[in-house]
Structure 1
Amino acid sequence: MLQARRLGDVLLVGVHSDEAIMENKGPTVMTLKERVAAVDACRWATQSIPCAPYVTSLPWISHYGCQYVVHGDDITSDSSGEDCYRYVKAAGRFKVVKRTPGISTTDLVGRMLLCTKGHFIRDLDKVLAGEGGHGSEEERKRSGEEMLQRIRDYASDETGHHPGSEVWSWHASREAKERRPSHPPPAGGSAPKNERRRSSRSHRNHHSSREQAGELTKMVDGKPPRKHQRIIYVDGGFDLFSSGHIEFLRRVSEDEEALAKQLDWYTDEARQRRIEEAGEDYPPYYLIAGVHDDEVINHWKGINYPIMNIFERGLCVLQCKYVHALIFSAPFTPTKSFLAALPYGPPHAVYHGPTAFMPLTYDPYTAAKELGIFVEIPSHEYAHVNAGEIVERILKGRTMYEARQRMKGVKSVGEDATRKREVLEAEAKARAELRELERTRSIQEIERGYGL
């Protein structure tokens, strides 16, 4: 959509119905409503058009005042094998853009079914610098440059031509990125014996991750916060970026706008003052999104999550119109030191939504709650739509998706793939139960140590 928007001033995005896609292409992963929500949240889309015909006709695009139809350089055909854009091509009203490499529904479905981990990126900064990845030194360097350029492109504003979102990278130890912080013993008492008996390795890991501020380096310049904007921080894996993530971010925006109305942000006088001072109006909040590393997510979720690597997930978050800045490799637990070290100081609020997919044995947002800046978005109609839900949809319709993959020239997935995932899911469940058991035992030992 970025390339399409760059060709004009207004971008209308037609979204096919579930029935039309099923008839001409195969089963959908997302429902029509979910796909429309994704388009509406894209910063480069002006408007979504639900239930657009699978074969684009001249009367249809003329009805909406469109001069051209834009599509990728792949051939799209209907159920009869004919070109879906034959009519607009014949009329000279068709524009072709190069299809975005590396991210396709077909690739993602293959990762889900085959349980592969080859897409993981261990160190994004090294990959972007040409020091990691596959191929020769020259190939790695070229690949890194292309990836960095795509980050710059996705960080552009709603026109696609000017700087938009800022992009940062957080550097700290792996323990600081993936582990919970340790806490000092209560005032007036020493740690219980069982706490003192922890292994030196465990102690070092928890100590090093406890309050590491880390180091933030800017990757892409963009628009910094404006006068009187509230700084908002959110974080997550954002794997298979979908309606659950989008609705969460939309509700954060909605909450901040509601607060701004109470503070007279939207009065004519206030709006005119912002335009005079900044040259344009702007929203009352500046949202910074932290995206976790692949290894961090896999540490907590297991199997072959995340399905999308950190580079792909970062691009998905950057294209969302509710996001103004992004931090790659953000910690799983935003400590007080990390929050204080954010690019523009401590945030006014840290938002998080309902999480059921990832079984945790502790609260990662203790620091934000102690600071009095934590805000929880309540459950909503898309709260259940996460990476696990999408994978489950794929597995339930495995036969149909295998047929779809074969139609696209992808090797058929056998029964062993399903069995492999079932085994991995069972192992992940067992690890989660073990962590919960260890947490319960630890609490009991601490209580006994204090004579409780």
Structure 2
Amino acid sequence: MMRNGYPEQALDKESVRRPVRVWCDGCYDMVHYGHSNQLRQARAMGDYLIVGVHTDEEISQHKGPPVFTQDERYKMVKAIKWVDEIVPGAPYVTTLETLDKYNCDFCVHGNDITLTVDGKDTYEEVKNAGRYRECQRTQGVSTTDLVGRMLLMTKAHHSMEVTLDYQKHQNNLSKDARGHSPWTGVSQFLQTSQKIMQFASGKEPSPEDTIIYVAGAFDLFHIGHIDFLEKVYSLVEKPYVIVGLHFDQEVNHYKRKNYPIMNIHERTLSVLACRYVAEVVIGAPYSVSADLLDHFKVDIVCHGKTDVLPDRDGSDPYAEPKQRGIFRAVDSGNSLTTDDIVQRIIKNRLEYEARNQKKEAKELAVFEAQQRREHIINGQESK
């Protein structure tokens, strides 16, 4: 048969491009916006993104105990909007066999380094085969950094002074430490409008959408938040979920202690990366006002089963949506809180301090070896 003047079979071969399948893998422990940004960049390199997630056993062997269980980590990664498929229990060392098994053209990793328990590059085989691509690591965050914040737990842990104190604290853990790994060392996250645009869907609500509003801190964006947002998303056929994020000072006022762990800019990206969220209101008011409901044309307001503290004037922050009859209490079936995660860290403080120290020491050794190699090569070239 002919189509557009060409044999149909030949036209199909020319016009149908095979989808590019991309592989990423990792621990994805305490999934944060750095992980999401890596996966966003990886997805942009192809048409279909498969993410392999390691088991608790493998992570414990190579890095030390994970904060989250493997089932929690599987669900967190699956909820990131750039992920098409996950592979539970992916091997810690990435091989050509794994890429071929899932029909992936190449794998993508950040421009940091991942090492096995004996200090070998986990991507060495795929790098040598030319099936490795690199993306930019997101500065200012890592699981090591977040664990460090929780171990430190001061009210000013977002400030530069306290960041420097944490670096000194890490140095004091090891007498042999002479510096910091460039990959997991603490640095300040600087938000940009471009980064928000990259994470945002840019999708406007359609007339058929039901606009649902939820508000909170969403600090250390975790599996409890995911379960809640998934439940909210499933309430109606065509949901458009808007998340209102409270400013750091507001969160500290009602949560007390030393919260939030992550600042408003970090929390914004973490929430925007979730596939159940369409939009984020940065610095939303604590009380859900008539102005806010009218401005966003909100149909439903939801809150979880956690206690709702009164506003500063003693009023119910959900009085207006309750009066309009659009308030719903949603039970996600998951009672995990940010405080619970902090307690996991504190309970195993020595283990996590040792894990952080061990990881950074290995990375620092590799980094110094790379610098020595580059120095030798540069010296030879200049002769």
User: What interval of TM-score do these two structures reach, taking the shorter chain for normalisation?
Assistant: 0.7 to 0.9
In structure 1, the partner of 2:192 is 147
Q: Deviations over 1:249-296 (max 9, x none)?
A: 111111213xxxxxxxxxxxxxxxxxxxxxxxxxx1211111110000
Determine the C-alpha separation between the residues in 2 that align with 1:49 and 1:362: 47
Deviation at 1:57, TM superposition (A): 1.3
CA 1:359/1:26 → structure 2, altered by over 3 Å: closer, same or farther?
farther
Alignment deviations for residues 338-387 of structure 1 (CA, whole Å, 9 cap, x no partner): 22233xx2x1101111115x76686422221111001111240xx22221
Q: Normalising by the residue count of structure 1, what TM-score does the alignment of the two structures yield? A: 0.62
Given the superposition, is the C-alpha separation of residues 311 and 341 from structure 1 closer, same or farther in structure 2, using an over 3 Å criterion?
same
Distance 2:232 2:249 in 1: 27
Q: Is 1:120–1:294's contact at 8 Å kept on the other side of the alignment?
A: no
Aligned equivalents of 2:155, 2:46: Cα separation in 1:
39
Which of 143, 155, 163 is 1:105 aligned to?
143
Q: CA 1:379–1:46 in structure 2 vs 1: closer, same or farther (change >3 Å)?
A: closer
1:13 counterpart = 2:56? no
Q: CA RMSD in A?
A: 2.0
CA contact (8 A) 1:119 1:309 kept: no
Q: How does 1:285-434 map to 2 (within 5 A)?
A: 285-342=239-296, 345=297, 347-355=298-306, 363-380=316-333, 383-409=334-360
Q: Specify the SS of the correspondent of 1:107.
A: helix
Q: Which of 192, 215, 227 is the aligned partner of 1:235?
A: 215
SS of match in other structure, 1:289 = strand
CA distance in 2, matches of 1:54, 1:238: 30
Q: How many equivalent residue pairs?
A: 292
TM-score, normalization: structure 2?
0.73
| Aligned residue in 2 for 1:127 | none
Q: How does 1:2-401 map to 2 (within 5 A)?
A: 2-120=40-158, 147-155=192-200, 164=201, 222-257=202-237, 284-342=238-296, 345=297, 347-355=298-306, 363-380=316-333, 383-401=334-352
Q: Which amino acid aligns with 1:341?
A: H
| 8 Å contact kept, 1:240–1:386 | no
In 2, are the aligned partners of 1:11 and 1:46 still within 8 Å (CA)? yes
| C-alpha deviation, 1:337, in angstroms | 2.9
Q: 1:359 to 1:22 in 2, by over 3 A?
A: farther
Partner of 2:130: helix, strand, or coil? Answer: coil
1:350 corresponds to which letter in structure 2?
Answer: V
Determine helix, strand or coil for the equivalent of 1:287: strand
Q: What is the letter of the counterpart of residue 348 of structure 1?
A: D
CA-to-aligned-CA distance 1:48-104 (integer Å, 9 cap, x gap): 111100001111111111111101111111111111111111111011111111121
Structure 2 unaligned spans of 5+: 1-38, 160-187, 362-383
Distance 1:145 1:364 in 2: 31
The answer to whether the Cα contact below 8 Å between 1:248 and 1:377 also exists between their aligned partners in 2 is yes
Which residue does 1:277 correspond to in 2?
none
Per the alignment, in what secondary structure is the counterpart of residue 48 of structure 1? strand
Code of the residue aligned with 2:196 in structure 1: it is: I
Structure 1: which 5+ runs fail to align? 122-142, 156-163, 165-221, 258-283, 411-452
